[in-house]
Amino acid sequence: ILELVEGPPLAEHIAAGPLPAAEALQIARDIAEALEYAHERGIVHRDLKPANIKLTMEGRAKLLDFGLAKALEAEATAGDLLSSPTLTLRATTAGVVMGTPAYMSPEQAKGRTVDRRCDIWAFGVVLYEMLTGSRPFQGADVTETLASVVRDAPDLSRVPSELRHLLSRCLEKDPSRRLRHVGDALEL
């Protein structure tokens, strides 16, 4: 049995246009706290996006749809298909990337082993989208979108200057240089 979360998805709220920075930051804080809670329990969401975040009637953000979530493993290897995000929903055939391409981290888009930093990347993408009303990585189809994630730099000039450092740390292509814990985003 799941909690009934009444209210619109964040995607509908963003569709009306960019959010004021203060509102976006409050929603981002709620998302970061939810991710931190999951990460502390060894869970990686792997499909964080505005459609998987609901805004309650009280104005709080709730993270939903852990359908692609994965328990962190201490020793996953790049060749281990069971820990790779490149499995079909039946988990029997390699080659299909799981998740939503515009919100995938570069390592997830490349089919590499992921950890909590893929959620930090997606957190940065969602925050960017709340602030600008558009996604930082786009393409005409899935392949072009994934290519944009892997190769393009987001246009941080479109976000308030005081948030550029945070977004650059979240959207760092090299996961070893990305924020290590989403809770760190609350301090920047």
**Which among 47, 65, 141, 155 is annotated as catalytic?**
47
Region for 65 from its dihedrals, namely left if φ exceeds 0, alpha if ψ lies in -120 to 50, beta otherwise: left
Strand segments, DSSP code E, in the chain are 43-44, 53-55, 61-63, 70-71
Q: Do residues 180 and 121 touch, judged by C-beta distance below 8 A?
A: no
**Burial of 123: CB neighbours in 10 Å, binned 0-12, 13-18, 19+:** buried
First CA to last CA across the chain, in angstroms? Answer: 36
The yes-or-no answer on residue 174 being catalytic is no
Q: At what angle do helices 21-40 and 116-132 cross, to 10 degrees?
A: 170
Residue 54 neighbours by CB under 8 Å, 6+ apart: 5, 6, 7, 8, 9, 10, 61, 62, 64
Catalytic residues: 47
